[in-house]
Amino acid sequence: MITFGIMKLLVIVLMMTALGAVYSISGLYGYDSSSNWKTMRVMDFMIEQGYEAPNYFIQDIDSSKARQGEDLVTIGYTRIDKINTKRISKHFVCINCHNTVPETNELSQKDPETRFDYMMKNKLPFLPGSSLYGVVNRTSFFNGDYKKKYGSLADSAKHDLQSAIQLCAEISSEGRQLEKWEVEAILHYLNSIQLNMSDLNLSTKEVELIENGSKTDKLELVQSKFLSAEKASFGFPLAANVRTKGKNGDWEKGEYIFKYGCMHCHNPEGITTFTLEADQLNRNFLKNRMDKTNRKSIYEITRTGTQPKKLKKTYMPLYTYEKLTDKQLEDLAAYLNYKPN
């Protein structure tokens, strides 16, 4: 006669055997739940596969330095011993031009429309600069036509994130040279918002390779899943005779560009003296100047930007084709011209 204790033991043995089979099968197909790669930072995973990390990668992030770096990026100064440090710039902070969160869920995708759809869906600021999220995973900065704007400074910053940070602080933000501790703090912050393996949007087949492939194959796959550099192509204003003024544009997309792009800086509390509001009066102001060949036209100002002046350091950065396409510009025109009242 089988006692209750023996039956209980048999049930436990059977359950353990079944669980073992499940884990064995899942491991066979590359889904071993004991694997920890899914929670790893991309750079850490790449280093495990033999990648040589750049000098701006920080393995052990100091949370207090990262917090100071976040202050410097988002408000332009921080606090030490309860005293505010000197502002980097009186005119700009990094987040006037750069987001600090992902701008797409397809990190290897270069298509501006894919980026746009993600940003609109998530109501992210529509800014002219590349996101700082994952910037430490890139190997090149101030690419493409930024050479035209910054000359030899772009060359020195191209493969050195520290130099790129200094260029942003001194020239792009019309500020001052950063002290060594400030650059270090910003690097700790940027390393805290680097890419994670969970950001890579891996397919089932790619997961299997990550689990079971060779180091070379793993490294090659991971590097293919995000951009190591972001292209920058300066554009030219559309000629007046080919501007459709939004006739075939999408005014809802244009409304997003206006509210999350234009008004990011041109709102009454923004960094510029030229303010805009989402009302008919402001829309009419821009609508009536679309044919102009000066910076009062949305077709001109977005492509050429403005330059800082001696007594007016705030300026408008231009939008590259990668950040604002001509189609998206026509969407903005559609909002100004055709949005239902």
35 band by pLDDT with thresholds 50, 70 and 90? low
Region 42-54: mean pLDDT is 97
Q: How far apart are CA 295 and CA 252, in angstroms?
A: 24
Query: Out of 6-10, 224-228, 328-332, which region has the weakest mean confidence (pLDDT)?
Result: 6-10
Q: What is the pLDDT of residue 110?
A: 87
10 assigned to some structural domain: no
3-state secondary structure 259-305: HHHHHHHHCCCCCCCCCCCCCHHHHHHHHCCCCCCCCCCHHHHHHHC
pLDDT at residue 26 above 60?
no
Last residue of a domain, one of 208, 232, 256: 232
Last residue of a domain, one of 200, 232, 264: 232
Q: What is the pLDDT of residue 7?
A: 53
Q: Are residue 287 and residue 149 in the same domain, yes or no? A: no
105 assigned to some structural domain: no
The mean pLDDT of the chain is 90
Query: Nearest-CA neighbor of 176 among 167, 187, 188, 189?
Result: 167
Q: Are residue 75 and residue 188 in the same domain, yes or no? A: yes
Q: Calculate what percentage of the chain has a pLDDT beyond 90.
A: 79
20 band by pLDDT with thresholds 50, 70 and 90? very low
CATH number (domain holding residue 331) = 1.10.760
Q: Are residue 208 and residue 301 in the same domain, yes or no? A: no
Over residues 284-298, the pLDDT tens digits come to: 999 999 999 888 899
Q: Are residue 147 and residue 295 in the same domain, yes or no? A: no
Region 13-29: mean pLDDT is 42
Hey, what's the torsion of the CAs at 132, 224, 59, 180, to 10 degrees? -40
Last residue of a domain, one of 177, 198, 232: 232
User: pTM (2 decimals)?
Assistant: 0.87
Q: How far apart are CA 246 and CA 234, in angstroms?
A: 22
Q: How far apart are CA 263 and CA 257, in angstroms?
A: 9
The DSSP-derived string for 77-140 is --EETTEEPPPS-SS--GGGT--SS-S-S-TT---HHHHHHHHHHTT----SSPPSTTGGG-S-
pLDDT at residue 19 above 60?
no
Q: How far apart are CA 301 and CA 333, in angstroms?
A: 13
Over residues 277-335, the pLDDT tens digits come to: 888 888 899 999 999 988 889 999 999 999 998 888 999 999 999 999 999 999 999 99
Q: Are residue 157 and residue 305 in the same domain, yes or no? A: no
pLDDT at residue 5 above 60?
no
pLDDT at residue 193 above 80?
yes
Q: Are residue 53 and residue 188 in the same domain, yes or no? A: yes
Q: Which two tokens stand for residue 136?
A: 């430490």
Q: Are residue 262 and residue 311 in the same domain, yes or no? A: yes
11 assigned to some structural domain: no
Report which listed range, 29-43, 250-264, 303-317, is most confident: 250-264
pLDDT at residue 3 above 60?
no
pLDDT at residue 106 above 60?
yes
328 assigned to some structural domain: yes
106 assigned to some structural domain: no
Q: Are residue 180 and residue 320 in the same domain, yes or no? A: no
Number of domains in the chain: 2
Q: Are residue 133 and residue 278 in the same domain, yes or no? A: no
- Considering only residues 11 and 36, tell me which one the structure prediction assigns the higher pLDDT: 36
8 band by pLDDT with thresholds 50, 70 and 90? low
**C-alpha 161: how far from chain center:** 15
Over residues 120-138, the pLDDT tens digits come to: 999 999 999 999 999 999 9
108 assigned to some structural domain: no
**Residue 45, domain extent:** 35-98+128-232
Q: Are residue 189 and residue 76 in the same domain, yes or no? A: yes
147 assigned to some structural domain: yes
Q: Are residue 181 and residue 303 in the same domain, yes or no? A: no
104 assigned to some structural domain: no
261 band by pLDDT with thresholds 50, 70 and 90? very high
Q: Are residue 206 and residue 223 in the same domain, yes or no? A: yes
Region 226-239: mean pLDDT is 95
Q: What is the pLDDT of residue 23?
A: 39
